[in-house]
Every structure is written in structure tokens, then in C-alpha cells.
Amino acid sequence: MMKKLLIALCTMSLAVNATASTLTQWPSAITAEAVPRSEYPRPQFQRTDWQCLNGTWNFDFDFGLSGHERGWQNVTSLERQITVPFCPESQLSGIGYTDFIPAVWYQREISIPTEWAGRHVRLNFGASDYETHVFIDGHEVGTHYGTGSSFSFDISRQVKPGTRHNLVVWVKDDLRGGHQLGGKQSERLNSYGCMYTRTTGIWQTVWLEPVDAEGLQSVFAVPDIDQQQLVVHPRFYKESATNRLTVKVYDGKRMVAQTSVGCSNGAVAVLPIKKPKLWSPESPFLYDVTYEVSNATGAVIDRVQSYAGMRKVHVAGGYFYLNNQPYYQRLVLDQGFYPDGIWTAPTDEALRHDIELAKAVGFNGARLHQKSFEERYYYWADRLGYLTWGESASWGIDVNSNLSARNFLAEWTELVERDRNHPSLVTWTPFNETWGCNGSGVYNRMIEDVYRITKAIDPTRPVNDASGDGHVRTDIWAVHDYERDHDRLIEHFTFHEGREPYRNQGDKPYLAKYDGQPYMVDEFGGLPWIRPEEREGSWGYGQNIDDIEEFYRLLEGEVDALKACPNVVGFCYTQITDVEQEKNGIYYYDRRPKFDTARLKTIFERIPSVITDIKRLPVYQHAH
């Protein structure tokens, strides 16, 4: 019998006041019995019947990669135990092993409810890093390759309702191989600089769910505020000539739109929404949406609860637009690391709290950096009104390798399909600082492919192909600059007709030339404020700042410099929290405040979100 796990339940206050002293970290003490991260993991596509598999699993390391030869796919127990969904490197997993792990094995029993008879049973993984093999009663049911994308297997042929079955998961992880996404996972034994503790194996929720064989597989819900309509493109597990999909849209309890279409993958459900309430950080209104699949007799065979935000994003004339209004993005870099969970938030409330902390100091969004954030983070961003840039964990791959390109394209496609319905997500940023790119042609071809594929899956958002200027084909021109001096920053970002603006890789002739895209400084700041007792072994951008007033003076100077440059239409400050040895966060790693919250808010909000002083920004023609 599996032991019950004691974990922390978040008891923090959600109130965010103006003073820094009111913002506290989430507790790490064990306070109550619970299944960890037991909330439904996919809140924008939610069914009533499901079974969370988080909690205690049997577990073991496979340092010799010999587990399969030893028949571990058939094991009914293993030497250790682990708390899923936390990775074995984390404290919350109950293991805390931080050396390199080439492979791990998991085992537990699953019980299929009798009331699921007649439906297909799907085994879902929020994420597992990297090569995941799944066995039911010794038979392999599927393999997935990916660091942070979600995946699902139909295990209906291997399980029977009313019975118990043996579930075994084998995960291999070769971070140093150069062909898999790793993000900020350290390729050295220990963390260093801006590289942190690794994540191996399962790190997001695992769950079972029954679905009708002709049920709804996914939707692409496109808000069209210009035509005042929500356009839904459904996809089904199996198409049917007789089934119908009914879509209902609600404003609270009041239904504002309804339509019905046939259950074919080419169907389009158009729902007129008169005078729609628009979603924005200032007013994050969400419509509730219900999807129902009915058979020829009218019986509902599948029902999904969802929501949608009516908003529009586009770029034009050197500006980023939100709801047809030029909008200045005051973003913060969010690494998505936690002291006790590493890549996995200890609680759902911790995800929400991170967003509240950022909003409290004046940010209207975040660049979700070098990690595939879980869907519940986007859910809270949607609810709270917080812009996000969806990024991959692209560090770790050789950007000049065709195998790396193949692996990247597969995972990125899954991520874009998964997250494209979230109104908070306003920009795709597949790569970061691809400064190792060369002129072999592999990198340029990969970027072109990623851009085209992203636009084919989701034409509604701009693509920032490579943050930090490895640009090949991009809708947003993003550069990084950690210069502290106010005047030099203005010099960097003052544009001159006929001359390339400031960039990080302007010396590489095979990269694109600037052509009038919205110009954003999507990394700056990084000002380290390190307590004396933590300075040994710590890291930040530049020399540590010892005087608090000097910190505020430098920050004000940098923000004022960006404000003084009309061609800069958005920024991203590094970063929201310290992470391990990197000490340039607005908050400490445990989320306690470092600074006066109200004062920081005043500084960052010197640049308003809505741009009212619209100027015609020239398109700079490069010399041929």
C-alpha cells in the first residue's frame, strides 16, 4: 500500500499591498496530508472524469542504462520511492540527488474505474525530460521525446475497467549530448553563473482520463475582435458523419453565443459576440466556453469546459499592438525555478503568487525564459491579466546540427499547438542567444522552418525568432544589453537613418538585417543586490551594488534611458527572482522581497503601457 505524502498547502495571503514587507514567500513546511499538485492540469480543456496519478511511486536510478536488459519494464516494485511530479533532483521528490542521471525508472499500480467502460482511457503526462518509454503490464504503449511538451497515450487495449494494472515508466536523459533541449540545466556537475540544477524524468502532473472514441481531441479558438466573433477550429479523435459539436459561450451565467457544426476536422464554428468585452492586463475578462459532442440520438458523448479571451495582437509600423492600440510591454524575465521543486512549482498557488509578485512591482508581463511553462501558469496569467512570451528550453542543443533541428521542430510544434489558445500569450520566442550559430546554413534553415511552422499552426501572434539577436526571419527585433550607464544606453538605442541599430551579432553576414520591426530590449538590468553572507560563489551581471540608493539610481537611469528612445517599444528586465547562485532578482529565491515594492513600481511604470504619443517610426533600409 502506498504511503500517503505530506506536502505543503499554500497558506500565503494573496493580497499585494504597496509596501515590500507585505510580500512573503510561500511556506515550505509540511502542514497537511494531500496529493501533490492535484488540481486539474489542463484548465483550458477540462473534463469532469479524470484520475490524478501524482503522489508516491516506486523509483530507481539506472546509471548503467541496463534496466531494460534486466527486465525492469515488468517490475512490480523498485528500491526507492519518489513523489511525482517532482524530479529526483528536487527536495520535494524526497530524493534530492543532483549529480548527472542518465536514466530513471518509475513504477506504480493503476486502477481503472468500472464506470469508464465503453470509453477510451488516455494516460497523460504534463512533461517528462527527455526520452520517455511507457509500459503497461510489461507491454510498451508509447515513446515520447521532449523536455517540456505534453503528451498522451491511448492505453485502452492494455487496460480493462474494474481491474488493476502495472504501470512502468522509463526515462532517459542525455543533457550533455548536445541534441536535446535543456534550458538552464547545468552541463557541469554543479550550478554556475546563470546555469542551475538539472531536471530528470517526470516533472509535471500525470493523469488518467476516459474519452469517447469520437470525442473532441483539441480546438483552436481564434478571437476576432474586428469582426466581433470567436472562430473555433475543432479536431476529433475520430470524425463522424452523424455527430454534432455544440459550442456555447457564456458571460457569467448568461449565454451570449451558441452554434452547432458537424464533427469533421474541417468544420469551423463561428460564434458572433456583439460588443465583446476585450481581454487586457488592465481588464482580463474571460468568457466561459462549453464544448459538447452529441451522437445521432442527441446523447452527449463528450463535454469539455474551457474559456476564451477576446483580444488581438499584431505588429505594424514598428509597434506592438494589443487590441489595435500600440502597447508597451514592461516584461520581466522569469526562469520558473523553485528552491524545493526546481522546475516544478510546489503548489498551484505558488504559480499564481509569482505573477502577483511581478504585477506588484509594475510589470505587465513576463518572458518565460528557457523553460516550457506548465499550462496552469498560463491559466493564472489569463485570469490575472499578465502578458507572456512562450519560449522553449532551447539551450543545450547544437544549433548547427540537423539532428538538433529535427528534435527541436518536433517539440516546438507540440508546444505551440498546446498553448496557442491562451490570451495572455502574445509572442512566440523559440530561441534565446543563439550566438554559437555559424554560416553552415543549418541554423538559418532551422530558423526559417521554425518561423513558417509556427505561423502555419498559429498565424495570430508575432514570432521573435531568436531573442538576443540571432535573427533570420522575425516579427520582433530583440536585443540584449546589460549596460548600466544612462547616457551609453541612449547612445546604443538612438537610431540613425541608413545605419543598423544596436545589435548583438551584427558582424555575421548570414543573419538578417533590421527592417523596421518593433525593436525591444528583451534583456536588460540584471542589477545584483547580494547580501554579504551570500557573496562568495554568487553571480550577477556586473559588479555587486553595495548601496541601496545606488541600486535605485542605476535602475531609474536605465528605465529613463529606454523611455527616452522612441524606437524602443518594449523591455524585459532581468529578473523576477534570484535563482540559486544568480543574485540579480527583484525578489530573493524564496520570494521574499529585496526592495521597496512601491518604489520599484513607480520606477518601472514611468513608461506607460498604452502608447498615446504615436510617432511614425522610419523603416531603416540596409545597405546592399
Q: For residue 262, what is the domain's CATH number?
A: 2.60.40.10
C-alpha cell at 547: 548601496
503 shares its domain with 378: yes
432 shares its domain with 293: no
90 shares its domain with 144: yes
Question: Rounded CA gap, 361 and 598, in Å?
Answer: 7
- For 320: left if phi > 0, alpha if psi spans -120 to 50, otherwise beta; the answer is beta
Q: From residue 134, how far is each of 80, 154, 171, 411, 418 by CA, in Å?
A: 19, 11, 9, 18, 21
Strand partners, 523: 480
Q: From residue 439, how far is each of 449, 508, 604 by CA, in Å?
A: 16, 8, 39
Among the three residues 163, 184, 211, which one is the final residue of a domain in this structure? 211
Q: From residue 534, how far is each of 453, 468, 580, 581 by CA, in Å?
A: 45, 29, 11, 9
Residue 13, classified by CB atoms within 10 Å of its CB into exposed (0-12), middle (13-18) or buried (19+), is exposed
Question: Rounded CA gap, 304 and 302, in Å?
Answer: 7
Instruction: Supply the DSSP string of 57-111, one letter for each residue.
Output: EEEEE-TTS-TTTTTGGG-S--SEEEEETS-TTSTTTT----S--SEEEEEEEEE
Residue 20 is assigned to a structural domain of this protein: no
Residue 21 is assigned to a structural domain of this protein: no
Among the three residues 155, 180, 211, which one is the final residue of a domain in this structure? 211
281 shares its domain with 302: yes
Among the three residues 177, 211, 245, which one is the final residue of a domain in this structure? 211
142 shares its domain with 129: yes
Per-residue pLDDT of 219-242, as tens digits, reads 999 999 999 999 999 999 999 999
Widest CA span of the chain, in angstroms? 74
Instruction: Supply the DSSP string of 250-303, one letter for each residue.
Output: EETTEEEEEEEEES-TT--EEEE-SSPPBB-SSSB--EEEEEEEE-TTS-EEEE
Query: Within 13 Å of residue 380, how many CA atoms lie on the same side as its CB?
Result: 22
Which one, of 266, 198, 271, 195, lies nearest residue 233 by Cα? 266
Neighbours of 323 (CB within 10 A): 16
277 shares its domain with 371: no
- Structural contact between residues 279 and 308, judged by C-beta atoms closer than 8 angstroms: no
Per-residue pLDDT of 312-369, as tens digits, reads 999 999 999 999 999 999 999 999 999 999 999 999 999 999 999 999 999 999 999 9
pLDDT of residue 122: 98
168 shares its domain with 189: yes
Which one, of 378, 280, 377, lies nearest residue 329 by Cα? 280
The number of folded domains in the chain is 3
131 shares its domain with 250: no
- For position 190, which CATH number holds? 2.60.120.260
Terminal alpha carbon distance of the chain: 72
Residue 164 is assigned to a structural domain of this protein: yes
Residue 48 is assigned to a structural domain of this protein: yes
Residue 322 is assigned to a structural domain of this protein: no
Phi/psi for 61 (5° steps) reads -85, 155
Q: Amino acid identity of 124?
A: N
197 shares its domain with 222: no
Phi/psi for 114 (5° steps) reads -65, -30
Q: Which residues of the chain have pLDDT under 50?
A: 1-32, 623-624
221 shares its domain with 145: no
436 shares its domain with 578: yes
pTM: 0.93
pLDDT of residue 620: 59
Query: Within 13 Å of residue 487, how many CA atoms lie on the same side as its CB?
Result: 0
Question: 224 is in which domain, residue-wise?
Answer: 216-308
- For position 565, which CATH number holds? 3.20.20.80
182 shares its domain with 304: no
Neighbours of 163 (CB within 10 A): 10
